[in-house]
Structure 1
Amino acid sequence: MGVLLHLLSGVALLVWGTNIVKVGILRVYGANLRHVLSTSVANRFTAFLAGLGVTGLVQSSNATAVIVSSFVGQGLIAVAPALAIMLGANVGTAVMVQVFSLDLSWLSPLLIFVGVILHLSWKGSKPGHVGRVLIGLGLITLALELISIATRPVVQAAGVKVLFSTLTGDAALDMLIGAFLTILCYSSLAVVLFCGALASAGVVSIHVALALVLGANLGSGISALLTTSGNNQPGKRVTLGNLLSRLLGCVVALPFLGEAENLLALIDHDPQRLIVNFHLLFNVALAVLLLGATAPLARLCEAVLPGRNTGESQVTPRHLDPAALPTPTLALANAAREVLRIGDRVEQMLDNLLRVLRTNDAKLAAATCRIDNEVDDLYTAIKLYLTRISLEALDERDGQRWTEIISLTINLEHAGDIIERVLVDAKEKKIAHNLMFSEAGMQEIAEMHARLVSNLRLGLSVFLNGDLKSAQTLMAEKANFRELEQKYARTHLQRVAVQTAESIETSSLHLDVISELKRLNSLFCATAYPVLEQAGVLNRSRMKEDDASGTPPVRQLSTAARQ
C-alpha cells in the first residue's frame, strides 16, 4: 500500500508541476503568446510552428487549445489555420516529453532552489513568475525520479502484477484506459511519461504501453473538447477537429503497433525511450498527413457544428466592421449599434435581477452573472474598435459622438458590474438563508425597477436620436428617482421600527438594493448631459441636487439602519 501511495504521489506531483509551469508561463508571456498565435495564420506552416513553440513553453496542448478556441470564437482566426496550430501544439507536447524523459535528476534541486528564491523575493512580479516556472520544472523532474523509484518494488508485488496483467488482452481496451487516465490527469505529458516509466520497470509490456500512449493522445483531445464545451460553435469546432484528427490517427495506428515497436527498437531498444519516441513519431506523422487537409477537416467540423449558438449570437460583436474604420462616420455608426446591444444585455440582467429578488432563484442569479461577462467582452471589443478610429480624421461633431459612445459604453459596463454585485449580495445575504423581502418592500423595489427599465430605454433613445425633449424628460426622471429612493428608504426604516420580521431580516440588503438602483439610474440618465449641454440648457453646477455634505441622503439612512 505504501508503494502504491508513493507511486500515486509521484504522478500527482508530475501533474501539479506541469500545471505550475503552464500558469507561470501564461502569467509572464500570456499576452505575447496570444499575439504570436493570432498573427501566425498567414499560412498553415507558420501556424504549425507557432502552435509547436507556444505549447513547448506552456507544457500543455490543452492551454493552447483554450487560447485558439477563444480566438476562433471571436472571429479573429479561421478554423483551418487554428487546426494547423493544434497540430503543432500536439507535436510540441511530444517534444517536451522527449526532454523530460532524459535523466534530469541532477537538475531538479537546482531548479527548485533558484525558483523558490525568485518566487519569494519578487512575488507577484515577472521574476517571481519565472521562479514559479522553474519550481514547476524542478517538480516535474523530481516527480519522474520518484515514479522511477516507486515502480521498482511494484514489479515484485504480486497483486500489482495481477492488476496490470489485465491490460495485456486488448489493445483497443488499453487505448481507452489510457484515454481515461489522461482525462483524469488532464495531462497527456504526465501519462506518457508514466507509461514510459512503467514499461522501463517491466510492469507492462511495450505493446501495452504503446496502446496506452495512443489513449493518452485521444484523451488529450477529449479533455480539450470538454474544456471548451462552454464556447460558441466556432470555438468548439477547433477542439472537435483536434479530437477527430487524433481519433483518426489512433484508428490508423492501432493495427500497426507491433510493426511500430519493431521499427523503433532499431533506433533505441530502451523501453522508456521507445515509448516517448513512439509518442513523437505518432504526432509528427499525424501532422505531416493532416497539415495539408486542415481546410476539408474544418468544413467537416462546420458541418457537424453548424450555425451560431445562442452564446455566440449574444456575445460576438456583429457590427464592428474593420472595413469601415477608414470612414469615421460609418465606423462610429457601427460602434453605436453595438452599444445598443450592450443595452439589451443590461436590460436582460435587470429583468433577471427582479426575478431573483422575488424568487431566490440561485441558478438564474448565476446565469445573470455570466451575462455580465458577455457585457465585458462587448465593452472591450467596442473600446478597441474605437481606438482604431483615427482621431485626427474626426471633425468636431464626430469627435463629440466618439466621446458619447465611449461614455455610454463605460456606463453600461459599470451598470453590469453593479447588477452582478447586487446578485452576489442577494445570494449571500438572502438566498443562502432563504429570506424574503416584506410584501410592501418588494412592491417598492418592483416599482423602482420598472421606472429604472423605462429610463434605460429612454436613455438609449436619447443616445440614438439626440432629442432635446426626451433628454429633459430623462433629467426630470433622475430627480424623481432620487426622491423615490429617499421615500422608500424612509418607509423601509418605518417597517423596521414597527418590528416587521421580513424587513428586519433583509434590512441591510434592502437599503443596498434601492441605493444601487439609484446608481444605475444615474448611469442611464447620463446620456442626457451631452444633448442638454449642446442645447445650452445644462446648468454648470448641480450641487443643489445633493446634500451639502456630499453624501446622498439614502447613504445616511443606510448607515443609520446598519447601526
Structure 2
Amino acid sequence: MILLLLSLSIVGATDPYGDVVSGEGKLILSGNPIKIAVQVIEEGKPVVNKWVYFRAHNGYLTYDSVLSDQSGFACVEFIPLTNGWVEGIVNGELIEIHPSVLPKDTLIKLILSVVIGSVLILMGLDSTNKGFSRLSGERIRQTLWKMTNRPIFAYLTGIFLAIFLESSTLTGLMLLGLLESSLINLTTSLIVLAGASLGSTFTVQIIATDIIQFSPVFVLIGFLLWQSKTKWSYIGRILLGFGLIFFSIWLIRESIKPLLDIFTLDVNPIILFFGSIILTFIFHSSAATLGLLIGFIGVLDFSQALPIILGANIGTTFTILLGSTRTSSEGRAMGMGYVILRTIFVILSVYLFFLPRTLIPTSRDIANIHTFVNMWGFALIPFVYPLAFSMNKMFKRKLFGVKLDTMYLSTPSIAISKCHEVIRESMEIVINMFKATLVVFKKNNNALRKVVIRRDDEIDKMQEELTTYSSRLLGEELTEKESNKCVTILKIMNEIEHIGDLISKNLMSYAGKKIKKAYFFSDEGFGEIQEYHRSVLFNIEETQAAIGSMDKEVASVLLRKQEESKEKINRFRESHLSRLKVGKPESIDTSTLHLDILNDFDRINFHIYNIARAIIGKL
C-alpha cells in the first residue's frame, strides 16, 4: 500500500531501470534475511537524512529506524517467518512491503511431492502400458500385419493403436520391429506414427479429467484385479496405473496450494522448452511431462505452459530415435523421419503464442492444446511421401542385422517378434550356405569354402544372443502362449545351429579334402549328390516358409515326406555300391567322401524335420 502526502511520501524502492528492489513480492525462504528498501521523496525528488521507522510483522528487523541516504533510500534487513511483512513509516505515512515468504517445510514437501509424483506417474504409465500390451499386444501386431498402404486407414490405425497402447512411443517401437521384418514400408510407418501422435493425446485428456479424487478407488480395484491369474489381471494393471497417475497429480496439487497466493513461476520460455525436451526424453513419455505440468496448474500462465507442451512433443520422439539407432537402416530412417514430422507439428503451432499470455490455463486447456498440436498429422499426410523418399535416400538398407534390444522386453509380443526375425534371418544364412556347398564341390572353389565357414560363425553368434535374450524374456510376465512361442523359437534356433555346423564343420571339411587331393566324382555319383542336394534344399526352403508364418500345415506336409527321403538316400547308397562292384576308379577314390556327403545331407534333413515338429508342437 502506498500513501501519498502533499509534500512528502514514502514509496517502494526502484532501481534506475524502474525494476522493483524494495523486496515486494520477492520469493524468500522463511528464516532467511531479505533486504527491505523504501524511498522518501518530496515533490518528485529524494529526501536526504530523513528518519524512516520500520515495524516487523511475523519476523525480525536488524534496525527499527534508518536515515535516508543521498538517493532517499532507507534499507534494513528483515528475517521473515511465515507470512512475514514490514511497514515503513515517515511522518505518520506508511508503506507495506510484502515479500513472498515460502515456509521451509513447504519447500521440502514440494520437492518430495514432485519427486514422488514423478515416480508414481512413471510407474502408473508403465503399469497401464504393460496392461494394454499384455491384453492385446499380439492382436495389435496381427492388425498391423494386415494393414494396407491406404493412408487414411494407416492414419486411423495409428490413432487407435496409440489410444489402446496408451503411447505413441510404444507404437513406434512396435513399428520398428515390423519395418525390419518388411511387413510394412517406411511411408506407411510414418503415417501410422502421425496418427499415433494424435492418439497418444487421449492419455493426457484422461489425466486432465476431474476424477482425481477417485484415485484410491482405481488403485484398490486395480490391485485386487491384478492379483487374479486371468485376463482381468491386465485390466487391473491398467486401472492401477491410472490410479497412481491421478494420485500423483493430487499429491503435487496439494503441495503447491500454499504457493498459489504467494507467486507465479517466471522462467525464460526457451529454458522451459529445452527443459521439457530433456525431461520427456528421460521419462520416455510426453504424458509424464504433461502430467507434471497439470499438477502445477495455478503457478504457470500460458507463456510458461506452451513451451513445456511443445517441448514434450519433440522430446517424445528421441526415445524412438535412440531405439532406431540399434536397428536396420530403414529403422533409422523411420526414427529420423518421426523427429522431423513432430518438429514440423511444433513449428506450425507457433500461432498458439497469440493466446492471452497472462491467463492461467486449466488442466483441460493443457490437454486440448496438446491435442491441437498433434492434429497437424492429418494435414501433413501428403508431405509424408517426399519425407519417406528423402529418408530412404539418406539411409541405405543393409541385408542382415536384427538387433535384440532390451527395450522390447517390456512388451513380449514385440520381443518375440524380434526373436522370430532372428531365426528367419539365420535360416536365410543357412539356405545361402547350403546353396554354396554344391558350388564348392562342383568347382573346387576354396575361397567360397572359407566364406561358408565364416557364415557359420554368424549363426553361432546369433544363437548365443538369442539364447541370452530369450532367457531374460522368459523371466518377464508372459502368458502361456507367449512362453510357448519363446521356447519354440529356441528349439528352432538350436536345430538351425546344428545345420550350420554340419555344413561348415563336416561338408566344408570334405570339400577341403577333395580340393587338396584333387578328387573327382563319377558323373553318375555327382549327379546323385546334386539330386539329393536339390531335394534337401527344397525342404530347407519349405521350412523357411513355414517359419515365416509358423504355418503348421506347411510343416505337416513337410513331415509327410520323411519316408520319401529315406527311400531316396537308400537308393543312392545302393547305386554307389553298385559302382564300386563294377570297379570305377572315381567311385573307389571318393567312396568314403561320397557316402559322408549323402549322410550329412540326410542329417540336415533330420534337423529340418525337427524344425517342422517344433512348429507343430511335437518336439
Q: Does 1:369 align with 2:459?
A: no
Cα deviation for residue 459 of structure 1 reads 9.9
Task: Give the aligned residue type for 1:337.
Answer: I
Cα deviation for residue 178 of structure 1 reads 0.7
C-alpha separation in 2, matches of 1:147 and 1:417: 55
Cα deviation for residue 83 of structure 1 reads 0.8
C-alpha separation in 2, matches of 1:341 and 1:227: 35
C-alpha separation in 2, matches of 1:60 and 1:96: 8
Spell out, residue by residue over 1:385-411, the C-alpha distance to the aligned partner (whole angstroms, 9 max, x if none). xxxxxxxxxxxxxxxxxxxxxxxx997
85 and 465 in structure 1: CA distance in 2 versus 1, 3 angstrom threshold: farther
Q: Within 5 A, what are the aligned runs for 1:334-413? A: 337=431, 340=434, 347-349=456-458, 369-370=464-465, 413=493
Q: Within 5 A, what are the aligned runs for 1:232-243? A: 232-243=328-339
Spell out, residue by residue over 1:229-266, the C-alpha distance to the aligned partner (whole angstroms, 9 max, x if none). 21111122222211101112223434x3421x24997x
Spell out, residue by residue over 1:242-295, the C-alpha distance to the aligned partner (whole angstroms, 9 max, x if none). 1101112223434x3421x24997xxx7432222211110001x2133122211
User: What residue in structure 1 maps to residue 378 of structure 2?
Assistant: 288
User: What residue in structure 2 maps to residue 152 of structure 1?
Assistant: 257
133 and 351 in structure 1: CA distance in 2 versus 1, 3 angstrom threshold: closer
453 and 344 in structure 1: CA distance in 2 versus 1, 3 angstrom threshold: closer
User: What residue in structure 2 maps to residue 467 of structure 1?
Assistant: 529
| Preserved CA contact (<8 Å) 1:345 1:375 | no
C-alpha separation in 1, matches of 2:458 and 2:429: 21
Spell out, residue by residue over 1:420-459, the C-alpha distance to the aligned partner (whole angstroms, 9 max, x if none). xxxxxxxxxxxxxxxxxxxxxxxxxxxxx99994226469
User: What residue in structure 1 maps to residue 15 of structure 2?
Assistant: none
Report the structure, 1 or 2, having the larger strand content.
2
User: What residue in structure 1 maps to residue 290 of structure 2?
Assistant: 192
Aligned to 1:86, which of 170, 185, 193? 193
412 and 97 in structure 1: CA distance in 2 versus 1, 3 angstrom threshold: closer
Q: Within 5 A, what are the aligned runs for 1:3-18? A: 3-18=110-125
Tell me the secondary structure at the aligned position of residue 76 of structure 1.
Answer: coil
Task: Give the aligned residue type for 1:201.
Answer: G
- Unpaired runs of 5+ residues, structure 2, are 1-107, 405-417, 437-451, 472-488, 513-525, 534-561, 575-619
39 and 151 in structure 1: CA distance in 2 versus 1, 3 angstrom threshold: farther
Aligned to 2:309, which of 206, 210, 213? 213
User: What residue in structure 1 maps to residue 246 of structure 2?
Assistant: 141
Q: How many residue pairs align between the two structures?
A: 377
Spell out, residue by residue over 1:316-347, the C-alpha distance to the aligned partner (whole angstroms, 9 max, x if none). 989x9xxxxxxxxxxxx999836859987872
Higher relative contact order (CA 8 A, sep 6+): 1
Give the % identical residues.
19
Tell me the secondary structure at the aligned position of residue 121 of structure 1.
Answer: coil
Task: Give the aligned residue type for 2:284.
Answer: Y
465 and 6 in structure 1: CA distance in 2 versus 1, 3 angstrom threshold: farther
Spell out, residue by residue over 1:482-540, the C-alpha distance to the aligned partner (whole angstroms, 9 max, x if none). xxxxxxxxxxxxxxxxxxxxxxxxxxxxxxxxxxxxxxxxxxxxx9x9568731669xx
Larger Rg: 2
Q: Within 5 A, what are the aligned runs for 1:110-125? A: 110-122=217-229, 125=230
| Preserved CA contact (<8 Å) 2:186 2:330 | yes
Q: Does 1:108 align with 2:159?
A: no
Task: Give the aligned residue type for 1:271.
Answer: T
Aligned to 1:414, which of 483, 491, 494? 494
37 and 467 in structure 1: CA distance in 2 versus 1, 3 angstrom threshold: same
Report the structure, 1 or 2, having the larger helix content.
1
Tell me the secondary structure at the aligned position of residue 201 of structure 1.
Answer: coil
User: What residue in structure 2 maps to residue 231 of structure 1?
Assistant: 327
- Unpaired runs of 5+ residues, structure 1, are 321-332, 353-366, 377-408, 420-448, 472-526, 539-563
| Preserved CA contact (<8 Å) 1:3 1:153 | no
TM-score, L = length of structure 2 = 0.53
| Preserved CA contact (<8 Å) 2:109 2:255 | no
C-alpha separation in 2, matches of 1:295 and 1:87: 12
Q: Within 5 A, what are the aligned runs for 1:32-181? A: 32-122=139-229, 125-155=230-260, 165=266, 167=267, 169=268, 171-181=269-279
454 and 411 in structure 1: CA distance in 2 versus 1, 3 angstrom threshold: farther
| Preserved CA contact (<8 Å) 2:159 2:198 | yes
368 and 40 in structure 1: CA distance in 2 versus 1, 3 angstrom threshold: closer
User: What residue in structure 1 maps to residue 366 of structure 2?
Assistant: 275
Cα deviation for residue 79 of structure 1 reads 0.9
